[in-house]
Structure 1
Amino acid sequence: MRIVKLTISYKGTNYVGWQRQPAGESIQQKLEETISRILSHDVSITGAGRTDAGVHAVGQVAHFQTDSEVSCDGIRRGANSMLPPDISVVDASDATEGFHAKNSAKGKIYLYRIYVSSNRLPLEDPFAWHISTRLDLEAMREGAEKLVGRHDFESFRATGCCAKSSVRTINRIEVRRGSGFPFSDYSGAQFVDLIFEGEGFLRHMVRNMTGALVEVGRGRMTPDDIARILLQKNRQERFECAPARGLCLVKVIY
Protein backbone atom coordinates (compact mmCIF):
# COMPACT_ATOMS: atom_id res chain seq x y z
CA MET A 1 0.00 0.00 0.00
CA ARG A 2 1.47 3.35 -1.09
CA ILE A 3 1.21 6.56 0.90
CA VAL A 4 0.90 9.53 -1.43
CA LYS A 5 1.75 12.97 -0.03
CA LEU A 6 0.08 16.02 -1.57
CA THR A 7 0.95 19.70 -1.31
CA ILE A 8 -2.13 21.79 -2.04
CA SER A 9 -2.89 25.44 -2.70
CA TYR A 10 -6.40 26.84 -2.53
CA LYS A 11 -8.50 29.96 -2.29
CA GLY A 12 -10.86 29.22 0.57
CA THR A 13 -13.48 31.88 -0.20
CA ASN A 14 -16.14 29.56 -1.63
CA TYR A 15 -15.65 26.62 0.74
CA VAL A 16 -16.85 25.64 4.21
CA GLY A 17 -13.25 24.88 5.15
CA TRP A 18 -10.86 21.97 4.69
CA GLN A 19 -12.96 19.32 6.43
CA ARG A 20 -16.08 17.69 5.03
CA GLN A 21 -19.28 19.17 6.46
CA PRO A 22 -22.94 18.06 6.31
CA ALA A 23 -23.72 21.07 4.14
CA GLY A 24 -21.57 23.00 1.68
CA GLU A 25 -18.48 22.07 -0.32
CA SER A 26 -15.13 21.51 1.40
CA ILE A 27 -11.59 21.27 0.06
CA GLN A 28 -11.27 17.71 1.38
CA GLN A 29 -14.47 16.67 -0.39
CA LYS A 30 -13.40 18.10 -3.76
CA LEU A 31 -10.00 16.39 -3.54
CA GLU A 32 -11.41 13.03 -2.47
CA GLU A 33 -14.01 13.04 -5.24
CA THR A 34 -11.45 14.02 -7.87
CA ILE A 35 -8.67 11.61 -6.90
CA SER A 36 -11.17 8.76 -6.43
CA ARG A 37 -12.17 9.22 -10.07
CA ILE A 38 -8.54 9.21 -11.21
CA LEU A 39 -7.67 6.04 -9.28
CA SER A 40 -11.02 4.27 -9.80
CA HIS A 41 -11.45 3.61 -6.08
CA ASP A 42 -12.55 5.60 -3.05
CA VAL A 43 -9.80 7.45 -1.21
CA SER A 44 -9.81 9.07 2.23
CA ILE A 45 -7.57 12.14 2.39
CA THR A 46 -6.12 13.42 5.68
CA GLY A 47 -4.92 17.03 5.91
CA ALA A 48 -2.23 18.49 8.14
CA GLY A 49 -4.58 21.23 9.31
CA ARG A 50 -8.31 21.87 9.23
CA THR A 51 -8.49 25.40 7.87
CA ASP A 52 -11.78 27.18 8.58
CA ALA A 53 -14.29 28.46 6.06
CA GLY A 54 -12.78 31.25 3.98
CA VAL A 55 -9.16 30.55 4.99
CA HIS A 56 -6.63 30.07 2.17
CA ALA A 57 -3.52 27.91 1.77
CA VAL A 58 -0.42 27.83 -0.38
CA GLY A 59 1.21 24.92 1.46
CA GLN A 60 -1.45 22.62 2.89
CA VAL A 61 -0.20 19.02 3.10
CA ALA A 62 -2.34 15.89 2.92
CA HIS A 63 -1.93 12.17 2.38
CA PHE A 64 -3.90 9.15 1.25
CA GLN A 65 -3.27 5.45 0.74
CA THR A 66 -3.68 3.54 -2.51
CA ASP A 67 -2.77 0.32 -4.27
CA SER A 68 -3.00 2.05 -7.64
CA GLU A 69 0.04 2.17 -9.89
CA VAL A 70 -0.87 5.58 -11.31
CA SER A 71 2.26 7.74 -11.02
CA CYS A 72 2.39 10.71 -8.67
CA ASP A 73 2.80 13.03 -11.63
CA GLY A 74 -0.23 11.41 -13.23
CA ILE A 75 -2.22 12.01 -10.05
CA ARG A 76 -1.12 15.65 -9.92
CA ARG A 77 -1.82 16.38 -13.58
CA GLY A 78 -5.10 14.49 -13.54
CA ALA A 79 -6.31 16.25 -10.41
CA ASN A 80 -5.45 19.69 -11.75
CA SER A 81 -7.31 18.99 -14.99
CA MET A 82 -10.48 18.17 -13.04
CA LEU A 83 -10.37 20.39 -9.95
CA PRO A 84 -11.97 23.87 -9.96
CA PRO A 85 -9.57 26.77 -10.59
CA ASP A 86 -9.47 27.75 -6.90
CA ILE A 87 -7.83 24.44 -5.86
CA SER A 88 -4.47 23.17 -7.13
CA VAL A 89 -2.32 20.15 -6.33
CA VAL A 90 1.13 21.75 -6.33
CA ASP A 91 3.03 18.50 -5.75
CA ALA A 92 2.41 14.78 -5.34
CA SER A 93 5.04 12.32 -4.14
CA ASP A 94 5.38 8.87 -2.61
CA ALA A 95 5.90 9.33 1.13
CA THR A 96 8.03 7.16 3.38
CA GLU A 97 6.40 4.37 5.37
CA GLY A 98 4.55 5.70 8.40
CA PHE A 99 4.15 9.26 7.09
CA HIS A 100 1.01 11.00 8.36
CA ALA A 101 0.18 14.52 7.19
CA LYS A 102 -1.15 15.58 10.60
CA ASN A 103 0.67 13.40 13.13
CA SER A 104 4.11 13.71 11.52
CA ALA A 105 3.97 17.52 11.41
CA LYS A 106 6.38 19.43 13.67
CA GLY A 107 4.83 22.85 13.15
CA LYS A 108 2.98 25.24 10.87
CA ILE A 109 3.51 28.73 9.48
CA TYR A 110 0.56 31.06 8.88
CA LEU A 111 0.42 34.47 7.22
CA TYR A 112 -2.21 37.07 8.08
CA ARG A 113 -2.51 40.05 5.70
CA ILE A 114 -3.99 43.45 6.58
CA TYR A 115 -4.38 46.59 4.53
CA VAL A 116 -5.22 50.03 5.89
CA SER A 117 -6.95 52.37 3.47
CA SER A 118 -9.81 54.86 3.34
CA ASN A 119 -11.01 52.96 0.26
CA ARG A 120 -11.75 49.29 -0.25
CA LEU A 121 -9.21 47.73 -2.62
CA PRO A 122 -10.93 45.07 -4.77
CA LEU A 123 -7.73 43.23 -5.73
CA GLU A 124 -6.65 42.95 -2.09
CA ASP A 125 -9.98 42.37 -0.36
CA PRO A 126 -10.35 38.59 -0.97
CA PHE A 127 -7.01 37.94 0.76
CA ALA A 128 -6.69 40.65 3.43
CA TRP A 129 -8.52 42.37 6.29
CA HIS A 130 -9.48 45.93 5.39
CA ILE A 131 -9.34 48.41 8.25
CA SER A 132 -9.33 52.20 8.21
CA THR A 133 -7.15 53.10 11.23
CA ARG A 134 -3.41 53.33 10.61
CA LEU A 135 -1.45 50.84 12.73
CA ASP A 136 1.55 51.34 15.02
CA LEU A 137 3.72 48.41 13.94
CA GLU A 138 6.27 48.84 16.72
CA ALA A 139 3.56 48.57 19.38
CA MET A 140 2.21 45.47 17.62
CA ARG A 141 5.69 43.92 17.68
CA GLU A 142 5.93 44.54 21.42
CA GLY A 143 2.53 42.91 21.89
CA ALA A 144 3.54 39.95 19.72
CA GLU A 145 6.58 39.30 21.93
CA LYS A 146 4.20 38.62 24.84
CA LEU A 147 2.70 35.70 22.90
CA VAL A 148 5.91 33.95 21.88
CA GLY A 149 6.82 30.86 23.90
CA ARG A 150 4.85 28.10 25.58
CA HIS A 151 1.63 29.43 27.12
CA ASP A 152 -1.95 28.56 27.91
CA PHE A 153 -3.87 30.21 25.05
CA GLU A 154 -7.33 29.71 26.53
CA SER A 155 -8.01 33.44 26.04
CA PHE A 156 -7.31 33.17 22.32
CA ARG A 157 -9.19 30.07 21.23
CA ALA A 158 -12.65 29.87 19.72
CA THR A 159 -15.71 29.42 21.87
CA GLY A 160 -16.57 25.76 21.50
CA CYS A 161 -13.01 24.69 20.64
CA CYS A 162 -12.81 20.99 21.55
CA ALA A 163 -9.04 20.68 22.08
CA LYS A 164 -8.31 18.92 25.39
CA SER A 165 -5.45 21.29 26.22
CA SER A 166 -5.10 24.96 25.33
CA VAL A 167 -1.33 24.98 25.96
CA ARG A 168 0.62 25.66 22.78
CA THR A 169 4.12 26.80 21.77
CA ILE A 170 4.67 29.73 19.41
CA ASN A 171 8.19 29.95 18.04
CA ARG A 172 7.95 33.36 16.41
CA ILE A 173 5.58 36.13 15.39
CA GLU A 174 6.76 38.71 12.87
CA VAL A 175 4.97 41.99 12.26
CA ARG A 176 6.28 43.56 9.08
CA ARG A 177 5.38 45.90 6.28
CA GLY A 178 3.60 44.15 3.44
CA SER A 179 2.99 45.10 -0.17
CA GLY A 180 0.01 45.45 -2.45
CA PHE A 181 -0.80 44.29 -5.96
CA PRO A 182 2.03 45.25 -8.36
CA PHE A 183 1.62 48.39 -10.46
CA SER A 184 -1.39 49.56 -8.44
CA ASP A 185 -1.55 53.12 -7.15
CA TYR A 186 -2.36 52.63 -3.48
CA SER A 187 -1.32 56.10 -2.35
CA GLY A 188 -1.47 56.35 1.42
CA ALA A 189 -2.37 52.68 1.96
CA GLN A 190 -0.56 50.68 4.64
CA PHE A 191 0.05 46.95 4.19
CA VAL A 192 0.88 44.75 7.17
CA ASP A 193 1.90 41.08 7.23
CA LEU A 194 1.76 39.01 10.42
CA ILE A 195 3.67 35.71 10.33
CA PHE A 196 2.96 33.09 12.98
CA GLU A 197 5.13 29.98 13.41
CA GLY A 198 4.28 27.42 16.05
CA GLU A 199 4.09 23.75 16.90
CA GLY A 200 0.31 23.83 16.68
CA PHE A 201 -2.63 26.21 16.89
CA LEU A 202 -6.09 26.11 18.45
CA ARG A 203 -9.21 26.90 16.46
CA HIS A 204 -9.35 30.65 15.68
CA MET A 205 -6.15 31.16 17.70
CA VAL A 206 -4.24 32.99 14.95
CA ARG A 207 -7.26 35.12 14.06
CA ASN A 208 -7.89 36.03 17.71
CA MET A 209 -4.24 36.91 18.29
CA THR A 210 -4.35 39.05 15.15
CA GLY A 211 -7.49 40.82 16.36
CA ALA A 212 -5.85 41.61 19.70
CA LEU A 213 -2.63 42.84 18.07
CA VAL A 214 -4.63 45.12 15.77
CA GLU A 215 -6.23 46.67 18.86
CA VAL A 216 -2.70 47.36 20.11
CA GLY A 217 -1.80 48.86 16.74
CA ARG A 218 -4.86 51.11 16.91
CA GLY A 219 -3.88 52.29 20.39
CA ARG A 220 -6.97 50.83 22.05
CA MET A 221 -4.87 48.30 23.95
CA THR A 222 -1.25 48.23 25.12
CA PRO A 223 1.35 45.47 24.69
CA ASP A 224 1.01 44.78 28.43
CA ASP A 225 -2.72 44.15 27.89
CA ILE A 226 -1.76 41.20 25.68
CA ALA A 227 0.19 39.65 28.58
CA ARG A 228 -2.70 40.35 30.95
CA ILE A 229 -5.26 38.74 28.62
CA LEU A 230 -3.00 35.70 28.22
CA LEU A 231 -2.89 35.25 32.00
CA GLN A 232 -6.68 35.66 32.39
CA LYS A 233 -7.28 32.36 30.56
CA ASN A 234 -10.82 33.29 29.52
CA ARG A 235 -12.64 34.98 26.63
CA GLN A 236 -14.05 37.89 28.64
CA GLU A 237 -11.87 40.49 26.94
CA ARG A 238 -13.56 42.07 23.93
CA PHE A 239 -11.48 42.13 20.76
CA GLU A 240 -12.44 41.21 17.24
CA CYS A 241 -11.63 37.84 15.76
CA ALA A 242 -9.90 38.81 12.51
CA PRO A 243 -11.88 37.72 9.44
CA ALA A 244 -10.98 34.43 7.78
CA ARG A 245 -10.14 35.93 4.39
CA GLY A 246 -6.83 37.43 5.58
CA LEU A 247 -5.43 34.11 6.83
CA CYS A 248 -3.31 31.72 4.78
CA LEU A 249 -1.59 28.44 5.72
CA VAL A 250 1.86 28.95 4.24
CA LYS A 251 3.83 25.87 5.23
CA VAL A 252 3.66 22.65 7.22
CA ILE A 253 6.99 21.77 8.85
CA TYR A 254 8.15 18.13 9.07
Structure 2
Amino acid sequence: MLRTIRLLITFDGTRYHGWQRQHNGITVQGVLEEQLGHLCKKNITLHGAGRTDAGVHAMGMVAHFHLGASIPLKAFTDGLNSMLPQDIRILEAREEKPEFHSRFSALGKTYRYDFYTGPLQQPTTRLYAAHFPGFFDSSRLTEALQLITGTHDFSSFERVGSRNRELQTGRGAVRTIYKATCSAHPHQADHWSIQITGDGFLRQMVRILAGTLIEIGMGKRSPASVQTALVAGDRTKAGMTAPAHGLFLEKIYYQQLFHS
Protein backbone atom coordinates (compact mmCIF):
# COMPACT_ATOMS: atom_id res chain seq x y z
CA MET A 1 0.00 0.00 0.00
CA LEU A 2 1.28 3.43 -0.92
CA ARG A 3 2.16 5.80 1.91
CA THR A 4 1.39 9.53 1.71
CA ILE A 5 4.34 11.53 3.02
CA ARG A 6 3.81 15.20 3.87
CA LEU A 7 6.79 17.57 4.05
CA LEU A 8 7.00 21.00 5.67
CA ILE A 9 9.58 22.98 3.71
CA THR A 10 11.38 26.29 4.10
CA PHE A 11 13.49 27.84 1.36
CA ASP A 12 15.30 30.96 0.24
CA GLY A 13 13.93 31.55 -3.25
CA THR A 14 16.68 33.92 -4.40
CA ARG A 15 18.38 31.62 -6.89
CA TYR A 16 15.31 29.66 -7.99
CA HIS A 17 12.88 30.16 -10.85
CA GLY A 18 10.03 29.62 -8.43
CA TRP A 19 8.60 26.45 -6.91
CA GLN A 20 7.20 24.63 -9.94
CA ARG A 21 9.38 22.32 -12.02
CA GLN A 22 10.59 23.86 -15.30
CA HIS A 23 12.69 22.66 -18.21
CA ASN A 24 14.67 25.87 -18.57
CA GLY A 25 15.56 26.80 -15.01
CA ILE A 26 16.36 25.50 -11.54
CA THR A 27 13.32 25.28 -9.24
CA VAL A 28 12.67 24.22 -5.66
CA GLN A 29 10.40 21.36 -6.72
CA GLY A 30 12.97 20.16 -9.24
CA VAL A 31 15.80 20.08 -6.70
CA LEU A 32 13.64 18.30 -4.11
CA GLU A 33 12.40 15.68 -6.57
CA GLU A 34 15.94 14.96 -7.74
CA GLN A 35 17.24 14.37 -4.22
CA LEU A 36 14.14 12.41 -3.17
CA GLY A 37 14.72 10.22 -6.20
CA HIS A 38 18.24 9.45 -5.01
CA LEU A 39 17.03 8.80 -1.46
CA CYS A 40 14.10 6.58 -2.45
CA LYS A 41 15.87 4.99 -5.43
CA LYS A 42 12.91 5.74 -7.70
CA ASN A 43 11.34 8.72 -9.46
CA ILE A 44 9.29 10.85 -7.08
CA THR A 45 6.56 13.30 -8.05
CA LEU A 46 6.14 16.00 -5.41
CA HIS A 47 2.77 17.77 -5.15
CA GLY A 48 3.07 21.28 -3.72
CA ALA A 49 0.41 23.37 -2.01
CA GLY A 50 0.80 26.02 -4.67
CA ARG A 51 3.27 27.85 -6.86
CA THR A 52 5.65 30.62 -5.91
CA ASP A 53 7.25 33.05 -8.35
CA ALA A 54 10.98 33.35 -8.94
CA GLY A 55 12.63 34.99 -5.94
CA VAL A 56 9.77 34.37 -3.49
CA HIS A 57 10.70 32.75 -0.17
CA ALA A 58 8.82 30.27 2.04
CA MET A 59 8.77 29.61 5.76
CA GLY A 60 6.08 26.94 5.56
CA MET A 61 5.54 25.41 2.13
CA VAL A 62 3.80 22.03 2.24
CA ALA A 63 4.20 19.26 -0.33
CA HIS A 64 3.43 15.55 -0.42
CA PHE A 65 4.39 12.45 -2.38
CA HIS A 66 3.47 8.78 -2.48
CA LEU A 67 5.86 5.96 -1.62
CA GLY A 68 5.58 2.21 -1.20
CA ALA A 69 8.91 1.63 0.52
CA SER A 70 9.16 1.47 4.33
CA ILE A 71 11.74 4.26 4.59
CA PRO A 72 11.61 5.87 8.06
CA LEU A 73 10.33 9.45 8.30
CA LYS A 74 13.63 10.56 9.79
CA ALA A 75 15.22 9.94 6.40
CA PHE A 76 13.04 12.73 4.94
CA THR A 77 14.30 15.26 7.48
CA ASP A 78 17.85 14.44 8.59
CA GLY A 79 18.77 12.36 5.56
CA LEU A 80 17.22 14.61 2.92
CA ASN A 81 18.58 17.80 4.51
CA SER A 82 22.09 16.39 4.27
CA MET A 83 21.57 16.03 0.51
CA LEU A 84 19.90 19.38 -0.18
CA PRO A 85 21.57 22.73 -0.83
CA GLN A 86 21.64 25.04 2.19
CA ASP A 87 18.85 27.25 0.86
CA ILE A 88 16.26 24.45 1.13
CA ARG A 89 15.42 22.64 4.36
CA ILE A 90 12.80 20.10 5.45
CA LEU A 91 11.36 21.15 8.81
CA GLU A 92 9.07 18.16 9.31
CA ALA A 93 7.99 14.91 7.67
CA ARG A 94 4.83 13.08 8.62
CA GLU A 95 2.64 10.31 7.28
CA GLU A 96 -0.82 11.41 6.19
CA LYS A 97 -4.10 9.75 5.32
CA PRO A 98 -4.32 8.55 1.70
CA GLU A 99 -6.85 11.26 0.80
CA PHE A 100 -4.59 14.13 1.92
CA HIS A 101 -3.51 16.54 -0.82
CA SER A 102 -1.18 19.47 -0.16
CA ARG A 103 -3.12 21.78 -2.45
CA PHE A 104 -6.72 20.60 -2.37
CA SER A 105 -6.83 19.90 1.38
CA ALA A 106 -5.58 23.40 2.27
CA LEU A 107 -8.07 25.72 3.98
CA GLY A 108 -6.01 28.89 3.75
CA LYS A 109 -2.60 30.54 3.63
CA THR A 110 -0.74 33.42 5.23
CA TYR A 111 1.71 35.52 3.23
CA ARG A 112 4.01 38.29 4.48
CA TYR A 113 5.45 41.09 2.40
CA ASP A 114 8.51 42.89 3.79
CA PHE A 115 9.74 46.27 2.61
CA TYR A 116 12.03 49.11 3.68
CA THR A 117 11.36 52.84 3.28
CA GLY A 118 14.62 54.32 4.55
CA PRO A 119 17.01 56.11 2.16
CA LEU A 120 19.79 53.51 2.12
CA GLN A 121 19.14 49.78 2.29
CA GLN A 122 21.67 47.50 3.90
CA PRO A 123 23.12 45.00 1.39
CA THR A 124 22.31 42.14 3.78
CA THR A 125 18.56 42.82 3.51
CA ARG A 126 18.31 43.54 -0.21
CA LEU A 127 17.25 39.98 -1.12
CA TYR A 128 14.52 39.76 1.53
CA ALA A 129 12.85 43.17 1.61
CA ALA A 130 11.81 45.44 -1.25
CA HIS A 131 13.14 49.01 -1.15
CA PHE A 132 10.72 51.93 -1.45
CA PRO A 133 12.63 54.96 -0.15
CA GLY A 134 10.64 57.99 0.94
CA PHE A 135 7.49 58.96 2.78
CA PHE A 136 5.31 56.14 4.14
CA ASP A 137 2.39 56.52 6.55
CA SER A 138 0.91 53.22 7.70
CA SER A 139 -2.20 54.97 9.07
CA ARG A 140 -3.25 55.66 5.48
CA LEU A 141 -3.70 51.90 5.04
CA THR A 142 -6.38 51.46 7.73
CA GLU A 143 -9.33 51.92 5.36
CA ALA A 144 -7.72 49.99 2.51
CA LEU A 145 -6.95 46.98 4.72
CA GLN A 146 -10.57 46.92 5.83
CA LEU A 147 -11.76 47.13 2.23
CA ILE A 148 -9.82 44.08 1.05
CA THR A 149 -10.94 42.01 4.04
CA GLY A 150 -13.90 39.76 3.31
CA THR A 151 -15.09 37.98 0.17
CA HIS A 152 -14.52 39.82 -3.12
CA ASP A 153 -13.81 39.32 -6.79
CA PHE A 154 -10.07 40.06 -6.95
CA SER A 155 -9.79 40.17 -10.75
CA SER A 156 -8.08 43.58 -10.54
CA PHE A 157 -5.40 42.08 -8.32
CA GLU A 158 -4.45 39.19 -10.59
CA ARG A 159 -1.69 38.97 -13.17
CA VAL A 160 -3.17 39.54 -16.62
CA GLY A 161 -3.56 36.32 -18.59
CA SER A 162 -2.94 33.95 -15.68
CA ARG A 163 -6.36 32.34 -16.13
CA ASN A 164 -8.38 31.65 -19.27
CA ARG A 165 -11.48 33.66 -18.45
CA GLU A 166 -13.57 31.84 -21.06
CA LEU A 167 -12.91 28.51 -19.36
CA GLN A 168 -13.00 29.59 -15.72
CA THR A 169 -15.25 27.52 -13.48
CA GLY A 170 -16.22 27.52 -9.82
CA ARG A 171 -15.51 30.70 -7.91
CA GLY A 172 -13.38 32.30 -10.62
CA ALA A 173 -11.50 35.22 -9.08
CA VAL A 174 -13.54 35.28 -5.87
CA ARG A 175 -11.44 34.85 -2.73
CA THR A 176 -11.91 35.55 0.99
CA ILE A 177 -9.38 37.55 2.99
CA TYR A 178 -9.68 36.81 6.72
CA LYS A 179 -7.11 39.27 8.00
CA ALA A 180 -4.83 41.95 6.53
CA THR A 181 -2.39 44.06 8.55
CA CYS A 182 0.58 46.36 8.13
CA SER A 183 3.03 46.63 11.02
CA ALA A 184 6.38 48.24 11.71
CA HIS A 185 9.37 46.14 12.70
CA PRO A 186 9.82 46.57 16.49
CA HIS A 187 13.61 46.94 16.35
CA GLN A 188 14.41 48.16 12.84
CA ALA A 189 13.37 51.65 11.78
CA ASP A 190 11.58 52.02 8.44
CA HIS A 191 11.10 48.25 8.06
CA TRP A 192 7.49 47.19 7.45
CA SER A 193 5.52 43.96 6.98
CA ILE A 194 2.16 43.49 5.29
CA GLN A 195 0.56 40.21 6.36
CA ILE A 196 -2.46 38.73 4.57
CA THR A 197 -4.38 35.56 5.46
CA GLY A 198 -6.99 34.19 3.07
CA ASP A 199 -8.66 31.06 1.78
CA GLY A 200 -6.64 31.20 -1.43
CA PHE A 201 -4.81 33.60 -3.72
CA LEU A 202 -4.72 34.30 -7.43
CA ARG A 203 -1.47 34.51 -9.43
CA GLN A 204 0.58 37.46 -8.07
CA MET A 205 -2.44 38.59 -6.00
CA VAL A 206 -0.45 39.20 -2.82
CA ARG A 207 2.26 41.11 -4.67
CA ILE A 208 -0.33 43.33 -6.38
CA LEU A 209 -2.20 43.90 -3.11
CA ALA A 210 1.11 44.77 -1.42
CA GLY A 211 2.08 47.12 -4.24
CA THR A 212 -1.29 48.86 -4.07
CA LEU A 213 -1.11 49.23 -0.28
CA ILE A 214 2.46 50.56 -0.43
CA GLU A 215 1.40 53.17 -3.01
CA ILE A 216 -1.41 54.23 -0.66
CA GLY A 217 1.00 54.55 2.27
CA MET A 218 3.33 56.63 0.12
CA GLY A 219 0.48 58.98 -0.82
CA LYS A 220 0.50 57.96 -4.48
CA ARG A 221 -3.11 56.77 -4.48
CA SER A 222 -6.14 57.12 -2.24
CA PRO A 223 -7.40 54.41 0.13
CA ALA A 224 -10.74 54.52 -1.69
CA SER A 225 -9.00 53.42 -4.90
CA VAL A 226 -9.05 49.86 -3.51
CA GLN A 227 -12.84 49.80 -3.66
CA THR A 228 -12.76 51.25 -7.17
CA ALA A 229 -10.39 48.47 -8.26
CA LEU A 230 -12.48 45.73 -6.64
CA VAL A 231 -15.61 46.89 -8.44
CA ALA A 232 -13.89 47.46 -11.79
CA GLY A 233 -12.39 44.00 -12.24
CA ASP A 234 -9.64 45.68 -14.24
CA ARG A 235 -5.93 45.12 -13.52
CA THR A 236 -5.09 48.69 -14.57
CA LYS A 237 -7.15 50.06 -11.67
CA ALA A 238 -4.93 48.44 -9.01
CA GLY A 239 -1.37 49.38 -8.08
CA MET A 240 2.04 48.03 -9.01
CA THR A 241 3.15 44.43 -8.70
CA ALA A 242 5.60 44.58 -5.79
CA PRO A 243 8.97 42.84 -6.37
CA ALA A 244 9.01 39.11 -5.66
CA HIS A 245 11.93 39.09 -3.21
CA GLY A 246 9.89 40.79 -0.45
CA LEU A 247 7.31 38.00 -0.36
CA PHE A 248 7.27 35.08 2.10
CA LEU A 249 4.80 32.19 2.25
CA GLU A 250 4.46 31.92 6.01
CA LYS A 251 1.93 29.20 6.70
CA ILE A 252 -0.62 26.88 5.11
CA TYR A 253 -3.66 25.82 7.13
CA TYR A 254 -5.25 22.37 6.99
CA GLN A 255 -7.26 22.03 10.17
CA GLN A 256 -7.99 25.46 11.59
CA LEU A 257 -7.85 28.85 9.93
CA PHE A 258 -6.26 31.81 11.63
CA HIS A 259 -8.94 34.41 12.22
CA SER A 260 -7.62 36.59 15.02
1:178 equivalent in alignment to 2:191: no
Which residue does 2:161 correspond to in 1? 160
Partner SS, residue 84 of structure 1: coil
From the superposition, tell whether residues 156 and 238 of structure 1 become closer, same or farther in structure 2 (CA, over 3 Å). closer
Aligned equivalents of 1:91, 1:134: Cα separation in 2: 41
What secondary structure sits across from 2:101 in the alignment?
A: coil
Contact 1:134 1:190 in 2 (8 A): no
Q: In structure 2, how many angstroms separate the alpha carbons of the residues matched to 1:225 and 1:126?
A: 30
TM-score by length of structure 2 reads 0.92
In the TM superposition, 1:193-208 aligns within 5 A as 193-208=193-208
User: Gaps spanning 5+ residues in structure 1: where?
Assistant: 181-185
Query: Across the two proteins, how many residue pairs are aligned to each other?
Result: 247
Name the SS for the 2:235 alignment partner. Answer: coil
Question: What is the alpha-carbon distance in structure 1 between the residues aligned to residue 26 and residue 198 of structure 2?
Answer: 29
Q: What's the secondary structure of 1:94's corresponding residue?
A: strand
Counterparts of residues 86-97 of structure 1 (less than 5 Å): 86-97=87-98
What is the DSSP-based 3-state SS (H/G/I as helix, E as strand, rest coil) of the residue aligned with 2:139? helix
Indicate the residue corresponding to 1:183 in structure 2. none
Residue by residue over 1:82-130, the C-alpha shift from the partner in whole angstroms, topping out at 9 and shown as x without a partner, is 1111000111111122110000000000010011111121121111111
Amino acid at match of 2:159: A
Deviation at 1:65, TM superposition (A): 0.2
Deviations 1:44-78 (A, max 9, x none): 00000111111000100000000111111112111
Aligned equivalents of 1:170 and 1:213: distance in 2?
Answer: 15
CA shift at 1:179, angstroms? 4.7
In the other structure, the counterpart of 1:224 is 224
Question: How far apart, CA to CA, are the structure 1 residues paired with 2:221 and 2:240?
Answer: 12
The reply to whether residue 64 of structure 1 matches residue 65 of structure 2 is yes
Q: Secondary structure at the match of 2:224?
A: helix
For residue 252 of structure 1, what is the aligned residue in structure 2?
Answer: 252
C-alpha distance 238-108 of structure 1, shift in aligned 2 (>3 A): closer
Q: Distance in 2 between matches of 1:22 and 1:221?
A: 40
Post-superposition shift, 1:203? 0.4
Taking the aligned partners of 2:5 and 2:112, their CA distance within structure 1 comes to 26
Q: Deviations over 1:150-193 (max 9, x none)?
A: 1010100001112731111111101111256xxxxx6xx41111
Alignment partner, residue 176 of structure 2? 169
> Given the two structures, how large is their TM-score scaled by the length of structure 1?
0.94
Equivalent pair of 2:229/2:238 in contact (CA under 8 Å): no
Give CA-to-partner distance per residue, 1:182-224, whole Å, 9 cap, x none: xxxx6xx411111100000000100000111111101111111
How far apart are the structure 2 equivalents of 1:51 and 1:8? 13
Q: Is the 8 A contact 1:8 1:58 kept in 2?
A: yes
Matches within 5 A, 1:36-185: 36-162=37-163, 164=168, 165-179=172-186
Regions of 4+ moved over 4 Å: none
Letter in 2 for 1:66: L
Partners of 1:148 and 1:171 within 8 A in 2: yes
8 Å Cα contact 1:216-1:222 kept in structure 2: yes
SS of 1:13's equivalent in the other structure is: coil
Q: Output the CA distance in 2 between the equivalents of 1:65 and 1:117.
A: 47
Which ranges in structure 2 are unaligned for 5 or more consecutive residues?
Answer: 255-260
In structure 2, do the counterparts of structure 1 residues 238 and 100 end up closer, same or farther at CA, with 3 Å as the change threshold?
closer
* Residue range with higher mean Cα deviation, 83-92 or 229-238: 229-238
